[in-house]
Structure 1
């Protein structure tokens, strides 16, 4: 018997894998105020599930294609006919509703809807772990490769352009990374909670970090700790695992906020 034979070990490894990619990427989502953009992309995952089931394709492939298509569509259409927040709101809820309706219309296919909405981390297999870590490492490598350029484009687009960095290209790279993260995270926390795992650890890391790089590393650590605490709490209290992980991340955010407040008070 090996450690991977335990479903709890597989679940913990899956959550840590997602945290590895969500930490750095979540920092950019927080810095660029892209939370609603992340929602729209994550909600499109249900359309991808329907597409994959209807065409008998791998779920990860269907989700990646659909999430990327949604992200690119919103990026290109925002600010033209409607305000950005309006476009994101329409896209987010339209994708979620359409995905739910489309899933109900699939005949002869039995679907555990709650697993796609809230995740089913306890059912992660070895094959799922391979997909999660391949996707997470790809996202992490992509963000690390473009770190300086992404940071410049985030801080000041005019300065970035003057330095030879094309802000639109960096936005597209973030869009691609976000779509990949949604695809590998769907089974862990579900379409409704993916954005929470992007935003909450990154926001919690702000209270402890002094540099952007430190914030990214701390966000990964908080995501990993939240996974372990959420799994432990779910096992002890018999609560849903995906939401329990998010609650643990929120508690880390509260702790980070208190830490920041105490440190600011000491300086006065």
Structure 2
């Protein structure tokens, strides 16, 4: 079954979706979208360093994104406001990564694949890495779920409960860096944040509990991955952007449903 490239692509998309759904909910709740951008853009620098030192792209991206995430978390509020620091980090990391890629890339390597993903080229080993990373993200979030929720909703309550909000922030930082490392093969560095935010935002109108929102976001992400993959195959469009476009359509539909419900209530 895994010899079919479309099957491998579909499974890769599902692996990304099941991890990005719950993690994306925390990104939305904590308003960390720009933080996700900064981490994702740093992935290109990780790719360049991996090529320069002939190591695994996954390892290089994971190292650089983790360093970026921890650096931004540590400096925020000390030297610059968070939004300023994230803006500098996001664009600076992307620019340095692109320059480093031009200097280190070997002939025949396609930058577009790392920017927008190449899900159709996912191999069996890539698939194993994607699912291992996705399950690790789910395990990390599941382990700290209640603590993460408490720290997200009310930091004073978290302190009163014996929790350390700073530690929960670091848990999300590690989970985000890990997801970026496994997702770059699927949707690319420029579109990773979209797969975190859009399914979670689309799930919000249909959710009564945080757990329900996480599950619905995962389902919307999975449907977007499979629907975008099919649309890309039929219309011969770039697969990564088509997957994100499918998620955007789901978000628009959720908005229509929200407006219709509001009119019924009035």
TM category (shorter chain) comes to over 0.9
Corresponding position of 1:215: 213
Corresponding position of 2:70: 72
* TM-score (structure 1 length as normaliser): 0.98
Corresponding position of 1:201: 199
* Aligned pairs for 1:170-185 within 5 A: 170-185=168-183
| Structure 1: tracts of 5 or more residues without a match | none
Determine the C-alpha separation between the residues in 2 that align with 1:240 and 1:196.
16
Corresponding position of 2:29: 31
Contact 1:160 1:166 in 2 (8 A): yes
Tell me by how many angstroms 1:50 deviates: 1.0
Q: RMSD over aligned Cα, in angstroms?
A: 0.9
Determine the C-alpha separation between the residues in 2 that align with 1:182 and 1:24.
14
Determine the C-alpha separation between the residues in 2 that align with 1:261 and 1:246.
23
Tell me by how many angstroms 1:177 deviates: 0.1
Query: Aligned match of 1:235 in 225, 233, 236?
Result: 233
Q: Secondary structure in 1 aligned to 2:208?
A: coil
Query: Aligned match of 1:245 in 240, 243, 251?
Result: 243
| Structure 2: tracts of 5 or more residues without a match | none
Report runs of 4+ in structure 1 exceeding 3 Å deviation: 107-110
Q: Secondary structure in 2 aligned to 1:44?
A: helix
* TM-score (structure 2 length as normaliser): 0.98
Aligned residue pairs total 266
Tell me by how many angstroms 1:267 deviates: 2.1
Q: Secondary structure in 1 aligned to 2:206?
A: coil
Contact 2:51 2:105 in 1 (8 A): no
Cα deviation per residue 1:165-201 (whole Å; 9 max; x = unaligned)?
1000000000000000000000000000000000000
Cα deviation per residue 1:13-52 (whole Å; 9 max; x = unaligned)?
0000000100000000000000000000000001111111
Tell me by how many angstroms 1:265 deviates: 2.1
Corresponding position of 1:144: 142
* Aligned pairs for 1:92-111 within 5 A: 92-106=90-104, 108-111=106-109
Tell me by how many angstroms 1:108 deviates: 4.3
1:254 matched to 2:252? yes
Determine the C-alpha separation between the residues in 1 that align with 2:146 and 2:206.
21
Determine the C-alpha separation between the residues in 2 that align with 1:265 and 1:149.
37
